[in-house]
Amino acid sequence: MDKGGETKRKQHPKDCASFFSLATFAYIFKLIHKGRRKEIDENDLSEVMSTLRSKQLGDDLEQCWMRNSKQSIIRALITCHGFFLFILWIGHLSVNVIFIYTMPWAVGKFVSYFETGQTAISKNEALLYAMVIISFNTLNGFWRQHYELWKIELVLKMQTSLSSLLYRKALTLSHIELNNISTGTVVTGITKDVLTINYAIIFGLDNLADVVQIVLVSYLLYQKVGMAAIGGIGIIFFCLFSQFSFAVFTYRRRGACNEKTGERLKQTNEVLSSIRLIKMYAWESFFEKRLLWLRKIELKNLYMVFILKTVARVIGSIAEKTAQILTLLLYSWLGGMLNADIVYYTGKLFLRVAKIMIIIPLGIQSLSEFMISLKRINKILRTEDRQIVYKDVSQTLKPQISLTEVDVEIKGREILKNINLELKIGLNILIGPSGSGKSSLLKTILEEYSTKTGEMRARGTLSYASQNPWLFPSSLKQNILFGEPLNEYKYRNILEMCGLTYDISSFAIGDEVTLTDCGANLSRGQQARINLARALYRESDIYLLDDSLASLDIHIKNHVFNNAIKSNLRNKLCLLVTHSTQYINQADNIIIMEAGRIKYTGKPTDIPPELLTQTKYNKNTILNEFSELNNEDENKKDDDVFKEDDPLLSNRESTKTSNIYKENKEGGKVDFEVYKSYVKHGGGLVMLFSVCSIHIISEASSGLGEKFLSKW
């Protein structure tokens, strides 16, 4: 398909960087320097890193998933990325343990040097402690930057591999399973659920190390202040228990919110797919209220989730000072002598705890949301695949479709009953009333519907034209080629046979003209002909055409049938579903269906008269050519609801779009109205002033507290 043109990019600088460049991030300096001289755009970007290519990551996770007997996506992710995750955790834990043990000791000793009258610490020792503080802070910052980068790379690997796996699964879902889980569930899985990995790894990995750090902090406090540490440790664990409880409530609320989100997306998709019917019966108000009601319930649960998250973070932020003050009071009450070493040692430990207490609720909540998302992802990945059975036909075998005593059941309702059918090379026309099972039979042959009983065999490669034309935003040519290599002679013949040559010739850029989403800028008949042309362009042994002539006027219908189907596919196995009876006498084989059963299969001249009466087909209509083909009045009776001579596109379309997916980017400064609108929708000036005041008071209080501590 049309990718908008591939751009050759330079190799990612990190792939060829030296150790020094990797350690100092020097490989990115060139891009930063370019950004200082001009605005960076996509042309300045390099190729994706070799370790982040989606195909390889998708292949690796797919292999882990296939080897996983219990079919658990969390097991597959751990198998695929667990080793790197473990190495990161060990490195992070080791650095933090050394930092927690060393920094409070060095800070306490350094501050003690400035106590009046002390002689235990010399000037050289104080300088040594200062060097330790500077060195460890520098090394910790150096490690932190690399650690965060490696975490982001791990997140990207997991997101990319999981998105690739979900995308591949979506392509193989059977029609029944796709109806059960809905398109909205698949879209939510790829666009929303995969993103929960981000914070789950960023915070969750830290939480695993934080548990060990809290134990170490508790031990160091006990070593320094004895039993007085129980007060501070008790507050820490009480806050942890509270945060865990809030995380459980958040998990439940998020689950309820996700259920409503899925229900809303499903109903939105149903409304959009039936929008014409809804407008025709003026049901817009009812469905609008229904969707708004679902959104209101969803937002109510989401509001509670944000409240719980905020309370958990507030608990974590106030725990540090409260725990330190209580510890120092208990130490003094138990007879201990407070000095700068004790105060700053405990302060440094509790400062570390404060950071942990802020990260832990975020990690717990992120992990809970991640587990909910994994449940939905597991549900998608565990669904039944559509079995692909089509293979190339050898030179000694001819294409064939065979169904033996086939029954098909969907949601407890039998849609095909005791189907016995054998199709060979030639034109096979399938007719029957609406709802008789014609399209269901084609989907059974396509393996979209699985058989309840019986056996279905299809020998040969297959091409399919759906009943509802499917077009994608790209050029008209790419909608027909659909990834196949261009054969100019064959391509022009297909255009002529499908009656598209005249439409294309009326445009300055011809078949390079861009179609809108779903081909909305085409008539229904033009959509159907492009859809048919795509199926015919693909070289196959079997062609399944589902009512491809329905939206064409009588003249174009004759042209397409005689040239594109009757003549072009004379040496192929063609199964044409149609409601029109005018071409039945030209078929090699006729299949008549009613109520999910095959009533007749054979030559058109051998159809029993009583069957014609039952199926409401007129014998003269079936066995004779229509003499009214050139009658203008008959043209009005055709089921085409669009005019075939309507222009394909507006004449204003005169330039070729090189990449229709390219984002339109605006340059210049951000307009003041944007900021004004942002403040307005955020609660107005009152809310802005309140938030700013809270931040100012918070920072001022923190500064005054530190100043009071230094004087004390």
The share of the chain scoring above pLDDT 70, in percent, equals 87
- Residue 593 sits in a domain of what CATH number? 3.40.50.300
If you ran DSSP here, which 8-state letter would residue 668 be given? S
The torsion angles phi and psi of 41, rounded to 5 degrees, stand at -125, -175
Name residue 660's amino acid.
I
**Would residue 506 count as lying in a domain?**
yes
Pairing assessment for the beta strands 573-577 and 453-459 based on DSSP bridges: unpaired
Burial tier of 143 (Cβ tally within 10 Å: 0-12, 13-18, 19+): middle
Q: Which residues contact 620 (CB under 8 A, 6 or more apart)?
A: none
Question: What is the C-alpha to C-alpha distance for residues 682 and 676, in angstroms, rounded to an integer?
Answer: 10
State which residues form the domain around 21.
Answer: 1-42
**Would residue 666 count as lying in a domain?**
no
- Considering 637, 655, 683, which residue would you say is the last residue of a domain? 637
How many domains does the chain divide into?
4
Q: Both 186 and 251 in a single domain?
A: yes
| pLDDT per position as a tens digit, 498-546 | 988 888 887 677 788 777 777 777 788 888 899 999 999 999 999 999 9
Q: Both 167 and 188 in a single domain?
A: yes
The torsion angles phi and psi of 425, rounded to 5 degrees, stand at -55, 135
Question: What is the C-alpha to C-alpha distance for residues 456 and 183, in angstroms, rounded to an integer?
Answer: 27
Local structure of 665: helix, strand or coil: coil
**Would residue 205 count as lying in a domain?**
yes
What element of type H or E holds 602? strand 597-602
Question: What is the C-alpha to C-alpha distance for residues 443 and 437, in angstroms, rounded to an integer?
Answer: 10
The torsion angles phi and psi of 516, rounded to 5 degrees, stand at -85, 175
Packing angle of the helix pair 54-67, 123-172 (nearest 10 deg): 80
Our CA dihedral for 478, 483, 489, 493, rounded to 10 degrees, sits at: -60
If you ran DSSP here, which 8-state letter would residue 448 be given? S
Q: Both 459 and 352 in a single domain?
A: no
**Would residue 467 count as lying in a domain?**
yes
Q: Both 35 and 68 in a single domain?
A: no
Tokens of 270: 């149903």
Q: Both 632 and 687 in a single domain?
A: no
List, in sequence order, every residue forming a beta bridge with 416; answer none if it has no partner. 408
The share of the chain scoring above pLDDT 90, in percent, equals 12
Question: What is the C-alpha to C-alpha distance for residues 163 and 146, in angstroms, rounded to an integer?
Answer: 25
Tokens of 686: 């009152």
**Would residue 370 count as lying in a domain?**
yes
> What pLDDT score was predicted for residue 388?
55
Q: Both 345 and 375 in a single domain?
A: yes
Pairing assessment for the beta strands 426-431 and 589-594 based on DSSP bridges: parallel
**Would residue 662 count as lying in a domain?**
no
Is the pLDDT at 160 greater than 90, yes or no?
yes
Local structure of 303: helix, strand or coil: helix
**Would residue 658 count as lying in a domain?**
no
Predicted confidence band at 428 (pLDDT cuts at 50, 70, 90)? very high
Count how many Cα atoms sit within 13 Å of the Cα of residue 19 in the half-sphere of its side chain: 0
Nearest C-alpha neighbor of 258 from the set 204, 309, 297, 219: 297
Q: Both 96 and 7 in a single domain?
A: no
> What pLDDT score was predicted for residue 631?
40
Is the pLDDT at 613 greater than 70, yes or no?
no
- Considering 614, 637, 660, which residue would you say is the last residue of a domain? 637
Q: Which residues contact 310 (CB under 8 A, 6 or more apart)?
A: none
Average pLDDT in the 557-572 region? 91
**Would residue 306 count as lying in a domain?**
yes
Q: Which residues contact 251 (CB under 8 A, 6 or more apart)?
A: 365, 368, 369, 371, 372
Is the pLDDT at 361 greater than 90, yes or no?
no
Q: Both 405 and 537 in a single domain?
A: yes
Q: Both 433 and 551 in a single domain?
A: yes
Q: Are 196 and 307 in contact (CB under 8 A)?
A: no
If you write DSSP's letter for every residue of 613-642 in order, what string do you get?
A: HHTT--HHHHHS--TTTT-HHHHHHSS--S
**Between residues 643 and 285, which one has the greater pLDDT?**
285
- Provide the phi-psi class of 12: left if phi over 0, else alpha when psi is between -120 and 50, else beta: beta
41-57 core/surface letters (b: 16 or more CB in 10 A; e: else) = eeeeeeeeeeebeeeeb
Measured CA angle at 632 (ends 651, 616), to 5 deg: 115
| pLDDT per position as a tens digit, 640-690 | 334 444 444 444 344 455 555 566 666 667 788 888 888 888 888 888 888
Local structure of 422: helix, strand or coil: strand
> What pLDDT score was predicted for residue 655?
45
The 3-class secondary structure across 251-288, one letter per residue, is HHHHHHHHHHHHHHHHHHHHHHHCHHHHHHCCCHHHHH
Q: Both 367 and 432 in a single domain?
A: no
Q: Both 12 and 159 in a single domain?
A: no
| pLDDT per position as a tens digit, 368-422 | 788 888 888 888 888 877 665 545 454 557 888 999 988 988 877 888 998 999 9
- Considering 347, 381, 415, which residue would you say is the last residue of a domain? 381
Average pLDDT in the 249-273 region? 80
Q: Both 73 and 31 in a single domain?
A: no
Cα end-to-end distance, the chain, whole Å: 73
**Between residues 701 and 480, which one has the greater pLDDT?**
480
